């Protein structure tokens, strides 16, 4: 069964390896060696050639003894949203925190470690099972790039589980939003700020005019919009010649999303016209939504496993994205399993021992329940 000591050591070993997006080489090599020591078939793909990082995705197989059981996969990502170099971990009342000026890195090592421990426990149990794939990706935090580089159709998988969202453990995400990005370049007109300011057009003022009255934040129950990054200018004595803005919008309704994005674009174009200048807008779809129905095998197995572990098998909707968006778009059904990672993407990130164990227990039970399912009647 699940061994807490081994699981916690594995988690701590993983989070102490610095692995920001596109720089995951060290943790990939470490994990590959660990999985090979467990007896798994492990290989790397060629993701680095496609996305420009220094590491590849790992695909590891535990071959099964049940020929007609589904081929399932467990997935998590190597990279962290920020570097964790110099990480100091502090445990308080059974909860792990970063005691250094870094994030903890439980996103997504808090998914990786339980997935690996569940496989370890299954090997030790001797329980029969089908083929199981561990799929660990790189560069998830900067746009699901590793997942997009996986040649998923070559793996012959039936369905799977992504361990990459917050509590409560025992719940699952089967419905998400579509996510659009905007890159805006507002052109101003430079002039000397002290000598000839009236000859210039300040791009910051154009941006301010566009943003004033723009609908942002919570637009509806399942629609949001945000301006996240703004930069521009060349010097304090030059009328600002340009402003670059990066923005996003998300919604479970493509119609609502298109309306919101259209509104944002209109505000920028209107402001540019009023100020007598121009704006360039690059609008692209970051990822598409998915909804896996409750009667799908991947969901039914998850709900049954959650109940068997004494948990509350809730299905959730989230506006956040994960590798599941990519795999579902490729036609491979999968849902996201909740883990114990909390306050992610902040320096207050934390995860408890108990939730690590519970996530591993649930994952192990998912593997057992999957072994009972048959791909052919």
Catalytic residue numbers read 79, 140
Pairing of strands 172-176, 315-318: parallel
The CA distance from 155 to 41, in Å, is 13
Residue 112 burial by Cβ neighbours in a 10 Å radius (0-12, 13-18, 19+): buried
The CA distance from 33 to 120, in Å, is 14
HSE-up of residue 277 (Cα within 13 Å, Cβ side): 27
Residue with token string 């589980």: 161
CA 340 from centroid of its chain's CA atoms: 15
Contact 251, 177 (CB under 8 A): yes
Q: What is the dihedral of CA 187, 192, 195, 198, to 10 degrees?
A: 0
Q: Where do the H-state alpha helices sit in the chain? A: 4-15, 25-37, 47-51, 106-125, 145-149, 203-211, 254-275, 297-308, 323-329, 353-372
The CA distance from 190 to 200, in Å, is 5
34's CB contacts (< 8 A; 6+ apart) are 10, 116
CA R_g for the chain: 23
3-state secondary structure of 265: helix
DSSP 152-163: GGGG---EEEEE
The CA distance from 208 to 335, in Å, is 41
Tokens of 291: 């909804």
SS3 annotation, 332-374: CCEEEEECCCECCCCCCCEEEHHHHHHHHHHHHHHHHHHHHCC
The CA distance from 77 to 189, in Å, is 44
């Amino acid at each position: 069964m699940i061994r807490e000591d081994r699981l916690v050591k594995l988690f701590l070993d993983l989070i102490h390896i610095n692995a920001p997006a596109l720089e995951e080489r060290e943790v990939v090599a470490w994990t590959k060696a660990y999985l090979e020591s467990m007896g798994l078939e492990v290989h790397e793909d060629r993701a680095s050639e496609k996305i420009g990082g220094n590491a590849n995705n790992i695909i590891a197989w535990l071959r099964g003894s049940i020929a007609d059981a589904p081929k399932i996969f467990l997935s998590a990502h190597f990279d962290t949203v920020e570097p964790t170099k110099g990480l100091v971990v502090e445990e308080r009342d059974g909860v792990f925190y970063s005691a250094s000026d870094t994030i903890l890195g439980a996103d997504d090592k808090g998914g990786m470690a339980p997935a690996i421990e569940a496989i370890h426990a299954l090997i030790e149990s001797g329980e029969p099972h089908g083929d199981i794939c561990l799929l660990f990706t790189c560069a998830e935090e900067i746009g699901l790039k590793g997942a997009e580089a996986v040649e998923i159709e070559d793996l012959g998988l039936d369905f799977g589980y992504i361990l990459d969202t917050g509590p409560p453990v025992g719940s699952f995400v089967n419905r998400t939003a579509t996510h659009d990005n905007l890159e805006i370049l507002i052109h101003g007109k430079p002039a000397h700020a002290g000598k000839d300011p009236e000859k210039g057009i300040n791009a910051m003022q154009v941006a301010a005019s566009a943003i004033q009255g723009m609908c942002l934040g919570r637009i509806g129950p399942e629609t949001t919009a945000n301006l996240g990054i703004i930069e521009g200018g060349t010097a304090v004595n030059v009328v600002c010649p340009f402003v670059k803005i990066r923005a996003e919008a998300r919604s479970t309704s493509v119609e609502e999303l298109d309306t919101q994005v259209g509104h944002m674009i209109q505000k920028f174009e209107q402001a540019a016209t009023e100020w007598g200048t121009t704006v360039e807008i690059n609008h692209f779809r970051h990822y598409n939504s998915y909804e896996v129905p409750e009667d799908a095998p991947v969901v039914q197995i998850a709900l049954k496993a959650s109940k068997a572990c004494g948990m509350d098998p809730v299905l959730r909707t989230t506006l956040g994205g994960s590798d599941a968006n990519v795999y579902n778009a490729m036609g491979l059904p999968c849902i996201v399993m909740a883990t114990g990672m909390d306050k992610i993407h902040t320096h207050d990130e934390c995860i408890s021992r108990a939730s690590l164990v519970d996530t591993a227990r649930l994952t192990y039970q998912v593997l057992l329940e999957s072994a009972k399912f048959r791909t052919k009647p």
